[in-house]
Amino acid sequence: MGAQWKAKHKDLAANAKGRLFGKLAKDIMIAARHGADPAANSRLRLVVEQARKVSMPKDTLDRAIKKGAGLTGEAVHFEHVMYEGFAPHRVPVMVECLTDNVNRAASEMRVLFRKGQLGTSGSVAWDFDHVGLIEAETQKPETDPELAAIEAGAQDFEASDEDGVTLFLTDPADLDLVSKALPAQGFTVLSSKLGYRPKNPVDPASLSAEQLEEVESFLAALDANEDVQNVFAGLGG
């Protein structure tokens, strides 16, 4: 799980498609503040490509771009808020929110963390590294991700056996630079964002099946909240 928690089960992922569209729409609106033309706005272009890969309806995508660029006359204002704490069984969690109502988000986080423990600012962040996270794939099996990471300037990488996607980790300041360098190394960038990687992740093998299910349910409930953009959990594997 490492850098970012994601729903494991396909049925859960399918049910979450509407929520995924909502999260992507926020990313699109924020990126579109710097221009509505993806060709001239690299951040918008990347998020639009992500939206298309998950089959976001074109009307929804176009509306988000226009709204973010201020072309609809509607005011768009999201505040970025981080929450820290523990899932059940002391699994550390960082929760990234984009919300148009900070009071609502804070109230809902307090409710969601009743099954865990909501911490104060800095209570969990010390156990995470702030990093750039780039998901990329290649169509050429012979492409060496380690060499690509070195040549592109990434700090590290994690290859996935499940979907063929490689996660490249960068210094936060190098995120854009590495994203632009990876295509020359044979990789297509799927997503590029700043995030958090646990320094001392909890080994899932140290938890019983029942305990692990409690942690997964807690993380899924966080991820389902409309104000939550990303959930970073200190859970290995």
Q: Give CA–CA dist 195/129, Å, rounded.
A: 8
> pTM of the prediction?
0.82
- 144/14: higher pLDDT: 144
User: Which fold would CATH assign to domain 79-126+199-233?
Assistant: Alpha-Beta Plaits (3.30.70)
Name the segment(s) of the chain with CATH classification 1.10.10.200.
Answer: 10-68
Q: What is the pLDDT of residues 48-68, one digit of tens each?
A: 888 888 889 999 999 999 999
pLDDT reading at 14 higher than 70: no
pLDDT band at 1 (very low <50, low <70, confident <90, very high): very low
Most confident of 141-145, 156-160, 203-207: 203-207
Q: Give CA–CA dist 235/213, Å, rounded.
A: 13
Cβ within 8 Å of residue 88, ≥6 positions away: 115, 116, 211, 214, 215, 218
Name the segment(s) of the chain with CATH classification 3.30.70.980.
Answer: 79-126+199-233, 128-198
| DSSP H or E segment with residue 147 | helix 145-152
The CATH number assigned to the domain with range 10-68 reads 1.10.10.200
CA-based nearest residue to 113, from 87, 90, 94, 134: 87
| The listed CATH number (3.40.50.300, 3.40.190.10, 3.40.309.10, 3.30.70.980) that belongs to domain 128-198 | 3.30.70.980
| pLDDT given for residue 12 in this prediction | 47
Q: What is the pLDDT of residues 89-126, one digit of tens each?
A: 999 999 999 999 999 999 999 999 999 999 999 999 99
